[in-house]
Amino acid sequence: MSSVGQASGLSRPSLDVTDERLVAHALAVASIFGTLRAIVGQLSGMLILLQARLARDPGDLPDIRMLRERRDEAVERIAHLNPPLGRTADRSRLQEVVVHLDAAISTIEQIRRACSNEHIDGASARLIFAYRLMQSICDHRIGLTMVDTSHACCTCGKKLV
């Protein structure tokens, strides 16, 4: 176990990387996870712009329709997950993330019409919940991390194992 896992009190059982179901699940979840992580980031960026009033006209913000399309694709892939034993909570957590993202998207659409601190607080709370759920799914052993550092200069091209 890594020192990070020990420090946080989290212990995860070892993974059998020869289990084909686990490998297939890891690949499927990584794609969904990446999509949802990107949506959380994009919505958070929109919210920051709205809160800072840098986007004087919220209509200048990127089209939420694209985010909804990506969300719909993720929902479809979540429905087809077949998690192996030990990863069964992934599906329900991903579904919960989608619920919070949907609420944040709806609130941001309301902000675009009538910006208020109440709307910003509501969308922010939903994004925080979504982010925390994503963190609860994180498992570096199968490539699920909230920040992708694989291309960062500090890794010198090395893959974290």
Q: Write the pLDDT tens digit of every residue in 24-65.
A: 888 899 999 999 999 999 998 888 887 776 555 555 566 788
The pLDDT-based confidence of 119 (bands split at 50, 70, 90) is confident
Does residue 7 form part of some domain? no
The pLDDT-based confidence of 102 (bands split at 50, 70, 90) is very high
Which residues are registered as beta bridge partners of 144?
139
Does residue 72 form part of some domain? yes
Q: Residue 117: pLDDT above 50?
A: yes
User: Which of 80, 125, 83 minimizes the C-alpha distance to 101?
Assistant: 125
Does residue 123 form part of some domain? yes
Domain assignment of residue 114, given as a range: 19-155
Does residue 61 form part of some domain? yes
Does residue 14 form part of some domain? no
CATH number at residue 138: 1.20.120
Percent over 70 (pLDDT), the chain: 70
Percent over 90 (pLDDT), the chain: 32
User: Which of 80, 84, 100, 98 minimizes the C-alpha distance to 33?
Assistant: 98
Does residue 47 form part of some domain? yes
Mean pLDDT (whole number) for 120-144: 86
Structural domains in the chain (count): 1
Does residue 56 form part of some domain? yes
Does residue 132 form part of some domain? yes
Could you tell me the CA-to-CA distances from 67 to 32, 57, 71, 84, 130 in Å, in that order? 13, 19, 6, 29, 15
